[in-house]
């Protein structure tokens, strides 16, 4: 199997929540990728697991020559890859290892620990398997981790050149519009809260989070409105065109949720989300676990599907009653804007292996 095919399979399994912890990611993703990149994963003097440094242990050391680390790879739980960056870079710096990789299976961050600047400055590249095609992802992984390139020093030299390249900033700048589009379309909680706070500061009244989320989701979507000429004796003027943003502020959310041809009535967006999660969890004991691991099922500070109210609202005890109970002891947060609720419906559809808009249809 080629690296591209392996990455395609890995992404499919990631989207289905098949890698719930570090051990699963290490065995099911990291070792598979390293094998495709030419590393003898069975030879522990080449791919050394739990490599001991003076300060602690690193999940994998890629060694050349045998038993001498050239790269460190640190593996973390889904969504937690960057939390150990300081520790991993310090381990590498004190051990004299010039290159570090942090991964949670989906994202792969490549660092030069001995360079100057903040930890963020020392990151050469961040690969997100969801955002790149298998061919693009394979090219990036080969660039930094292919065994022949690591052993020849070519991979390290390439990383150092890219670190010094001014082009990295222009590439990041070019990606700003797409990053913004994704944030507003998913109803990002922090962004909604920021706008709502600004409105409250200006007017003294805080807007409804759903209104803010729907406004943001509508940004950039325009329709052309024809303005008819006045009926006067004056010479007829050509119609003028003005761009008007499309913003859906309708509060009514009643409708029908269709799951594999079966229709379910709902009163609001919360009902639609809960009905779908409960229906898809029937006879599928791992479904909600896999949903909880999906990247879109967690914000920067909390999870939206979890085993306890504390995980749903870690910093807000006053909101912990705002939840619905799901099968097998799971909970889903309900203090979410409607755009985010629809995001959860879409990710649950994906985890179940269904197609949104075809197998699952919702009217809001």
Whether 296 and 153 map to the same domain: the answer is no
Has residue 107 been placed in a domain?
Answer: yes
Whether 17 and 163 map to the same domain: the answer is yes
Whether 18 and 113 map to the same domain: the answer is yes
State the DSSP code for 120.
T
In whole angstroms, what is the distance from residue 348 CA to residue 295 CA? 11
**How many folded domains does the chain comprise?**
3
Whether 35 and 117 map to the same domain: the answer is yes
Give the domain range for residue 356: 255-361
Q: What is the pLDDT tens value at each position of the chain, 364 positions in all? A: 799 999 999 999 998 889 989 999 999 999 999 999 999 999 999 999 999 988 889 999 999 999 999 999 999 988 887 777 888 898 998 899 999 999 999 999 999 998 887 888 889 999 999 989 999 999 999 999 999 999 999 999 999 998 887 556 667 777 888 888 888 877 788 888 888 888 878 787 888 888 888 888 777 554 333 333 444 444 444 444 433 333 333 344 688 999 999 999 999 999 999 999 999 999 898 999 999 988 888 887 889 999 999 999 988 898 899 999 999 999 999 999 888 999 999 999 999 999 999 999 998 7
Q: What is the CATH number of the domain that holds 63?
A: 3.90.1570
Pick the closest to residue 155 from 51, 55, 39 (CA basis).
39
Tokens linked to 278: 């409960």
pTM: 0.57
pLDDT at 134: 95
Helix, strand, coil % in the chain, rounded to nearest 5: 45, 20, 35
In whole angstroms, what is the distance from residue 108 CA to residue 125 CA? 8
Has residue 332 been placed in a domain?
Answer: yes
Has residue 184 been placed in a domain?
Answer: no
Q: Do the beta carbons of residue 92 and residue 98 sit within 8 Å?
A: yes
pLDDT at 194: 86
Q: What is the CATH number of the domain that holds 312?
A: 1.20.1380.10
């Amino acid at each position: 199997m080629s690296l591209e095919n392996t990455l395609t399979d890995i992404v499919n399994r990631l989207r289905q929540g098949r890698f719930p912890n570090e051990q699963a990611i290490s065995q099911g993703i990291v070792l598979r990728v390293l094998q495709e990149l030419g590393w003898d994963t069975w030879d522990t003097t080449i791919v050394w697991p739990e490599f001991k440094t003076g300060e602690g242990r690193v999940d994998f050391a890629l060694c050349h020559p045998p038993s001498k680390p050239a790269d460190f790879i640190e593996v973390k739980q889904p969504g937690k890859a960057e939390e150990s960056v300081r520790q991993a870079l310090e381990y590498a710096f004190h051990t004299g290892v010039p290159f570090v990789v942090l991964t949670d299976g989906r994202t792969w961050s490549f660092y030069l620990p001995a360079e100057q600047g903040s930890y963020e400055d020392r990151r050469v590249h961040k690969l997100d398997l969801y955002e790149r095609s298998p061919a693009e992802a394979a090219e990036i992984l080969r660039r930094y981790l292919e065994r022949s390139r690591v052993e020849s020093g070519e991979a390290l030299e390439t990383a150092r050149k890219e670190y010094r390249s001014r082009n990295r900033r222009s590439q990041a700048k070019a990606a700003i519009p797409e990053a913004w589009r994704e944030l507003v379309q998913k109803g990002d909680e922090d962004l909604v809260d920021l706008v709502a706070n600004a409105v409250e500061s200006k007017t003294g009244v805080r807007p409804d989070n759903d209104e803010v989320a729907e406004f943001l989701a509508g940004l950039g979507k325009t329709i052309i409105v024809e303005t008819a000429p006045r009926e006067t004796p004056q010479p007829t003027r050509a119609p003028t065109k003005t761009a008007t943003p499309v913003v859906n502020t309708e509060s009514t959310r009643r409708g029908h949720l269709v799951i594999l041809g079966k229709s379910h009535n709902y009163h609001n967006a919360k009902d639609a989300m809960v009905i779908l999660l409960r229906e898809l969890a029937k006879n599928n004991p791992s479904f909600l676990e896999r949903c909880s691991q999906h990247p879109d099922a967690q914000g920067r500070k909390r999870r939206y599907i979890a085993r306890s109210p504390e995980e749903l609202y870690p910093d807000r005890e006053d909101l912990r009653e705002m939840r619905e109970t799901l099968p097998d002891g799971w909970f889903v947060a309900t203090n979410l804007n409607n755009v985010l609720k629809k995001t959860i419906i879409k990710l649950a559809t994906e985890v179940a292996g269904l197609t949104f808009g075809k197998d699952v249809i919702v009217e809001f």
